[in-house]
Structure 1
Amino acid sequence: MTTAALAPPAQPPEQNASYRFTGPRLPSTPALARHWVTDLLRFTGRAHLVDRAELCTSEVVTNAYLHTTSLVMTVEVSLSTEGVTVCVHDGAPGRAPQIRPMWADPDSLTLTGRGLGLVDAYADQWSTALDESSKTVWFLLLDDQTARCAA
């Protein structure tokens, strides 16, 4: 007996579309958000951005979980011809997160506090936006194909 698997036809990358995931402030939410983002990128033809998106999403959502009391976190992914923007919104406006240098306090036994340094290293751009009731941390991953064409 011979079996064969059919591969779905290649689809062009989605452009100018936004997707949203909202989850409660639970220990499982960072992993769920990370997997949702990576699955979305694979499905929409952006598999070449998955590794960077996975790392950056994990760091930013984990920060919202660990350092806020927000009841929910929302991850929004916007696809464009230039790349992918991921925004993580929480309901805790507080202070803007700060980068802690990777080499800070080398004798410290804690392994936390260096996540935004990773985001800074792997994202093409990132920033925060605060208003009276919420905070957004976002990062942009430029499409490698677009960056090569522009060079």
Structure 2
Amino acid sequence: MTLHAQLKMTVDPLTPKRARVFTTDILRAWGERDLVDDAVLIVSELVTNAFRHGRSRTPEELTGLTGQNTETVTLLLELWPNAVGIHLQDGSSVLPVPRVALDDQENGRGLQIVTALAQSWTAAPVAANGKRITTFLRRDSTPSA
């Protein structure tokens, strides 16, 4: 049996926090407490990247005449027998490219963190527009108490 939980969020400075809280709550509800820290860190990096780089338009274009931000990202969590899937879809068709950050740089390590924690990750364009990043965390196949 596969479980799914999805959250669609407006892209703003609070989006990473909302995604972390959602991920924590869902994984705890699924009994996957051992994966919460790694999953939350992966989600935080992916959503922060989407906020910084995954927009289809500039912040000025997003608000337009209405003054409302219309750009969204969708976070999907899946519980499989041997893995937790983390999927993030945003509005930019530009695929992520891992960077090598210098020791004194504050940014540029997000995908390195994802690579270190996840069993695997991929990024692919979606038909409508944007892209989907998919990561998997290996889980113990025995139910937790």
What's the TM-score, normalizing by structure 1?
0.79
Q: Which residue of 1 aligns with 2:35?
A: 49
| Counterparts of residues 114-129 of structure 1 (less than 5 Å) | 114-129=109-124
* Aligned-pair CA distance for 1:27: 0.4
RMSD across aligned positions (CA): 1.5
Shift of 1:35: 1.0
Q: Distance in 2 between matches of 1:141 and 1:68?
A: 23
* Aligned twin of 1:138: 134
Larger radius of gyration: 1
**2:78 corresponds to which residue?**
78
Q: Secondary structure at the match of 2:141?
A: helix
C-alpha distance in structure 1 between counterparts of 2:126 and 2:2, whole Å: 26
For 2:26, the aligned partner's letter is L
Q: Distance in 1 between matches of 2:12 and 2:28?
A: 25
Q: Can you give the 5+ residue segments of structure 1 that lack an aligned partner in the other structure?
A: 1-14
TM-score by length of 2: 0.82
Identical counterparts, % of pairs: 33
Deviations 1:79-105 (A, max 9, x none): 1111100000011112x111123xx32
| Within-5 A mapping of 1:59-74 | 59-70=45-56, 71-74=71-74
Unaligned stretches of 5+ residues in structure 2: 57-70
SS for the counterpart of 1:146 is: coil
Shift, 1:68, TM fit: 2.4
